[in-house]
Structure 1
Amino acid sequence: MRTIHRRQLLAGAAAGAAAAALPGPVSAQNPRPLRVAVSATNMFSLDPRRSVQNADQFISRQIYDSLMDPPYGTFDLAYDKVLNEIAESWQVSPDARTWTVKLRRGIKFHRNAGELTAADVKYTYDSMTDPKSASTQRIYLSDLETVRIVDDYTVEFLLNQPNPTFHASGLISIIGSIIPRQAENVPFETFSRSPIGSGPYEFVTVDPNRGVVLKAFDGYHGARPKIETIEFRYMADPTARTLAFLKGDLDIIEGARLPGWVDQLRQQKPDTIFDQTRPGSINTLYFNMSRKPFDDVRVRRALRYGIDREVLIKAFGGIAGPSWGVNPPEFPGAFTEKELPEELRYYYDPKKARALLAEAGLGRGLKFEIIMTQREDYASIMLMVQDMWRSIGVDMAIRTIDHTTYHSEKNKNVNAVVLQSSTFAPVETQIPLAYFHSSAVVKSDGKGLNNYSHYGVIGGGGVDDLLDKAQTESDLQRRQEIIRQAELKILADMPAFTICTLSFVFARNPRLSLGFDVKAGYARYRLSQAQFTA
């Protein structure tokens, strides 16, 4: 049995000392590093099992191969379109309860950590489903009974119920990233800052000037990356990112999802390439029903009526869109405006909002404080919400903290109202299960999941049953119908509502080709095919 030694995990730190003293890595093929700036204050975790923020996940997507993935730049999850990375082939049983994956032979882990085999796949998924691990991915694997090793290069994912879209929820991107099994002897905190994967780039160091530095992995099983070195810089300030991009210091920046940002940058640098995903993030406000007065449905509905969706969407220009139900319109089976009963469309109505607050005994107003990340998309949304609510007699004070800390603190049940920006593959069950099932309730010790409203634990009678029923339904059309029933109940109870969708936008150097067009997907993509064209 191979063992990951402490010296392997700390090799990145040793390399970092050398990197600080020497020029950046040089390749005879392309000596220029690719420099990327992401919107976060600092690194939280490069362990995909505990991944939280998009910035870390963008980096992780270069370090780890996934079992499979949609064609790059898309969210195409059709069986015949999915790309195999670690998988050589895969098949689904007729009852959609057994997914058999054959692995490519000869895939190597970084830092001489050995060959990737079925034992590593089983370890990765066992560690994610172990409640003691506090993995952020566990909720998406609720239907995974076990992973069985057939032989060194074949695994079976055995489900406790049919799931014809298990590949979308459990086998792609970050959740399908495989960890070497010897990491079981390494603390999560250590591995998260010195990760070992099997992807096209391997971790080198975290440098105070260059950020997270990755280098092309010599032993990669696929085509060698054309760019030798990538530097990911954590830059929470959108102005600093934009100025550095305009100066030519950065090749890709995570766009500022602020009203007017794209148009302003296009005016200053007309040849900029904008990579934009749809639907992007689903931006949802959750009312903490464990706190008064948010346990009162009249208050929750009043706050919903107090938000002018159209004004907010127009403020963001072409990167924002509406979502009438729990699932955004790009998802299969999602509600359109006209399909909903009029009372569940919640058109802006400040008069009705004030009447409902008065009926709930809050005629003199409501005051409360929340913590909020300083990241521009969250902050912009909440400042507009704050202003709209002020007009109905609601005074929401906002205490701003950095983005990484916000993700940690909101998972400790500290907020009366939580804004969450999330991205999901277009599978109708994922959002309802992750945010509205009682098993996903947030906990004050930080070991809960993402049900910030406590829905199902408080109110929401019957929704758990519908969501459980949808999970066991193998017919996709029938599954969508069940989810729509659950959505109607959620909209009536108003534990949360989606304010808007926001496309993820990255500004790119026009002389940098990704090797594919970005049309949809997560706020991250592969850079292994990238090359400078001039």
Structure 2
Amino acid sequence: MRKTLGVKLIVTAALSLASVGAVSHAAIAETLRVGLAAADYSTLDPDRATATQDVALVSWMFNGLVRFAPGSADPARIEPDLATSWETSKDGLVWTFHLKENVKFHKGYGTLSADDVVFSFNRAKNPETSSYASDYAAFENIEALDPQTVRITLREPVPGFLGLVANYHGGNIISKKAAQELGADFQRNPVGTGPFKFDEALTQQSVSLTAFADYFRGAPLIDGIRADFIPSDSSRELAFRSGELDLIYGQRERHWVDQAMFWDNTNVDIFAPGEFRTLFINRAHAPLDNIKVRQAIADAIDVDQIVQFVGSGIARKGCSVVPVGYLGEDCSWAYSYNPDKAKALLAEAGFENGLNLTAVVSSNSAQKPIMEVIQAQLAKVGINLQMNVVDHPTYHQQIRKDLSDLVFYGAARYPVADSYLSQFYHSDAAIGKPTAVTNFGHCDAGDADITAAKKAATDDERLKYWSAAQKKISEQVCSVPLFSLMQVWARNTALDYGVELKGSLNLAPPITELTTLSR
């Protein structure tokens, strides 16, 4: 009896220890709680997602044919994603991709095939279904050679082609069946192949994603992601510091970073790419159609003061209309701060007694304070800037309705000059056109050179055209380049991304199947 009882006690103790071990392991798999700096999402359709919060959510649900290595924004580190391998013709016009087998879509929508890839890129190049259509204008033909092979034929060589088929913007692959079945509702019920799948959206509250157990790289180590929409910086910070959130979009200011680094159990991540801040001058609005007025605005803005205001390490001064560090950037025609010249130009243009302008401005902490600095700088030369401050989604809507004389805008694109010149300075991308993207200045000065660069046979020739375009755009003062603003997020030390974070073109930390949370 005693021996039997002893054995039972040992077995019971062993089972108890096993249960404790099981509970400890399960405790690691929890839902990641994220605080986003927005009032709501706009769309979860990857071909329409342009707002920062939308792009972040999309990045956790979708894959491209290739991908930027998690934690990197370096084009030199592009690697296979849904494709296992690819080949290209000597002239760079024909690309053939071989797909992974047995890659499953979310929610029972079947297995990835070449037809899904063909459908996705035809959708990405269609202005009626995509905000990135202009990027794919050179895609002449997309065809399925067999269920696992896709061939893309280009009209002309495309600089940085792999960036267009990566897990970024229009490069994300969607389920053909889901998109056709759901129609317009696809933007609220997205179906991809990524590590997390869409679960639920509560208007102006949150979006919930759950781990996709059948993810082709393996089931995620966390249960899911709940992204809360908290536009107030102070409310987001309070929720993080009280333990309600594990990861938050931070304030991209030096003093905030310096403070956050001393919070308990907190890591601050500062990473690339910098979103390039530019002040676009709307030439479609009088008197901004007068080049002397535009030149006066450029001369009135002290970029060095703005960079100092934002803080070292967070902001990098720009010089060209092409962002800092992009292939093809040419700073030969940078503007310089000269308030006396600005006053003289305004007088020559007939505004010796001053000038009134209006701007729709986001209440976002990454925009409003900087626009207040610009407002004060313009006031010194006699330009009264009336700011209409609205929430961030309303700002995006109104600037795309041509309601603003000056548009302060920040964006990151694939780091070659063409991606920025085409979207922000080619007349095809001008606001109000069917092919509109983000040409808020209605600039057309560089059209011929931007187009010629797309057809250039060599890199040297392409660089020459890009340089010429930047010169003409600068001479016409379509905008005032300001600075690149790095990404800033704060996370609980219990959160491990599973990769080293140096960059993310999707502007949010990489949350993948490798991410763990050990709170």
The TM-score, its normalising length taken from structure 1, stands at: 0.88
* Residue 382 (1) aligns with residue 387 (2): no
* Residue 476 (1) aligns with residue 459 (2): yes
CA deviation map 1:438-478 (0-9, x unaligned): 1111117x86221111111xxx1xx2111111111242233
The CA distance in 1 between the partners of 2:480 and 2:140, in whole Å, is 32
Whether contact under 8 Å (2:196, 2:211) holds in the other structure is yes
Structure 1 match to 2:20 = none
Total equivalences in the alignment: 493
1:70 aligned residue (68, 71, 82): 68
How far does residue 146 in structure 1 lie from its aligned partner after superposition? 2.1
- Superposed, 1:178-257 pairs within 5 Å as 178-186=173-181, 189-207=184-202, 211-257=206-252
Structure 2 match to 1:329 = 324
* Residue 262 (1) aligns with residue 257 (2): yes
CA deviation map 1:211-264 (0-9, x unaligned): 111111122111211101211111111111111111121111111124521112
The CA distance in 2 between the partners of 1:385 and 1:156, in whole Å, is 49
The CA distance in 2 between the partners of 1:313 and 1:285, in whole Å, is 14
Q: Which residue identity lines up with residue 294 of structure 2 in the other structure?
A: R
Structure 1 match to 2:511 = 527
User: How has the CA–CA distance of structure 1 residues 248 and 386 changed in structure 2, closer, same or farther, with 3 Å as cutoff?
Assistant: same
Structure 2 match to 1:23 = none
- Superposed, 1:473-512 pairs within 5 Å as 473-512=456-495
Q: Which residue identity lines up with residue 214 of structure 1 in the other structure?
A: L
The CA distance in 2 between the partners of 1:363 and 1:288, in whole Å, is 21
* Residue 394 (1) aligns with residue 383 (2): yes
Structure 2 match to 1:45 = 43
Structure 2 match to 1:15 = none
Whether contact under 8 Å (1:279, 1:330) holds in the other structure is no
The CA distance in 2 between the partners of 1:404 and 1:233, in whole Å, is 16
Q: Which runs of 4+ in 1 moved over 6 A?
A: none
User: How has the CA–CA distance of structure 1 residues 283 and 494 changed in structure 2, closer, same or farther, with 3 Å as cutoff?
Assistant: same
User: How has the CA–CA distance of structure 1 residues 315 and 266 changed in structure 2, closer, same or farther, with 3 Å as cutoff?
Assistant: same
Whether contact under 8 Å (2:73, 2:273) holds in the other structure is no
1:244 counterpart SS class: helix
Q: Which moved more, 1:515-524 or 1:291-300?
A: 515-524
The CA distance in 2 between the partners of 1:28 and 1:521, in whole Å, is 29
User: How has the CA–CA distance of structure 1 residues 435 and 244 changed in structure 2, closer, same or farther, with 3 Å as cutoff?
Assistant: same
How far does residue 50 in structure 1 lie from its aligned partner after superposition? 0.7
1:503 counterpart SS class: strand
Q: Which residue identity lines up with residue 68 of structure 1 in the other structure?
A: V
Whether contact under 8 Å (2:276, 2:324) holds in the other structure is no
User: How has the CA–CA distance of structure 1 residues 435 and 208 changed in structure 2, closer, same or farther, with 3 Å as cutoff?
Assistant: closer
Whether contact under 8 Å (1:210, 1:231) holds in the other structure is no
Whether contact under 8 Å (2:281, 2:440) holds in the other structure is yes
Whether contact under 8 Å (2:307, 2:483) holds in the other structure is yes
Q: Which moved more, 1:501-510 or 1:170-179?
A: 170-179
The CA distance in 2 between the partners of 1:159 and 1:219, in whole Å, is 34
Unaligned runs of 5+ in 1: 1-25
Structure 2 match to 1:448 = 436
User: How has the CA–CA distance of structure 1 residues 261 and 474 changed in structure 2, closer, same or farther, with 3 Å as cutoff?
Assistant: farther
User: How has the CA–CA distance of structure 1 residues 184 and 193 changed in structure 2, closer, same or farther, with 3 Å as cutoff?
Assistant: closer
Whether contact under 8 Å (2:29, 2:221) holds in the other structure is no
CA deviation map 1:3-49 (0-9, x unaligned): xxxxxxxxxxxxxxxxxxxxxxx993634211111111101000001
Quote the RMSD (CA, aligned, Å): 1.9
The CA distance in 1 between the partners of 2:128 and 2:78, in whole Å, is 32
Whether contact under 8 Å (1:140, 1:170) holds in the other structure is no
User: How has the CA–CA distance of structure 1 residues 188 and 374 changed in structure 2, closer, same or farther, with 3 Å as cutoff?
Assistant: farther
Unaligned runs of 5+ in 2: 1-23
The CA distance in 2 between the partners of 1:428 and 1:160, in whole Å, is 19
Structure 1 match to 2:307 = 313
